[in-house]
Copies of this chain bind each other. A is one copy, B any other.
């Protein structure tokens, strides 16, 4: 058996090309023929390896998206561990850096956020996996980090709303590149991404209570 053989080139190529196409066009705009042509394999390969087009889509999230999300989270924790302590400022900056610069190539970042935003707006079978095994654990970590630094008045729900809002911004600046470029006139080069990290860090502070440290008087 080649069950343990992790080097099934056809299966891997299918996952790669399927992810790229699903991210770029959305599930329904991509045909099985398009995927198999891009992966340089036979049309029947999708149904042989994954049973159906829909299974392939879910498997893209399990085998590609979720592991990559984990890499981003590790990058976040690493850059945060380099700081003295987890203040709202350092958390916000580490988050922005992980998701805007981080360990991903530009192409990977693009795929990653196209896929997740599509899922957020129109949850499918894959969303259970995303929510339960990626989002919720990470949000819990973030909440635990931030709780000790909370201003007195911020309850659990308020903290979650702040975390969601930070993600909203991070997702938006990765997802809506075309619109952002159109409105700002700036391409997503290194300079602009660095600018965005600064912006997101600053913008997030009030909600997270960080302004009390930033604006002493």
Contacts and interface: CB of A to CB of B under 8 A. Distances in A.
Interface of A: 24-29, 114, 117-118, 120-123, 127, 131, 135-136, 139, 157-158, 160-162, 164-165, 167-169, 171-173, 175-176, 178-180, 182-184, 186, 195-196, 199-200, 202-207, 210-212, 214-215, 217
A169 B120 CA distance: 14
A124 to B, nearest CB: 11
Contacts of A139: 183
A160 B184 contact: yes
Q: Which of A121, A160, A180, A217 has the most CB of B within 10 A?
A: A121
Contacts of A200: 165
Prevailing SS type, chain A contact patch: helix
Contact of A168 (B131, B161, B168): B168
Q: Nearest 5 A-B pairs (CB), nearest first?
A: A206-B206, A168-B172, A203-B207, A28-B28, A120-B176
Nearest to A217: B217
Nearest to A199: B161
A82 to B, nearest CB: 24
A178 B131 CA distance: 11
Contact of A199 (B136, B179, B199, B207): B207
A165 B171 CA distance: 10
Given A131-B182, A161-B184, A204-B206, A122 B172 contact: no
A80 B215 CA distance: 27
Given A173-B168, A178-B120, A183-B135, A206 B217 contact: no
B28 A120 contact: no
Q: Which of A28, A173, A179, A214 has the most CB of B within 10 A?
A: A179
Given A165-B199, A206-B207, 15 more contacts: A26-B122, A114-B121, A121-B175, A131-B183, A135-B183, A157-B184, A161-B195, A161-B196, A165-B200, A165-B203, A168-B168, A199-B207, A202-B207, A205-B206, A206-B211
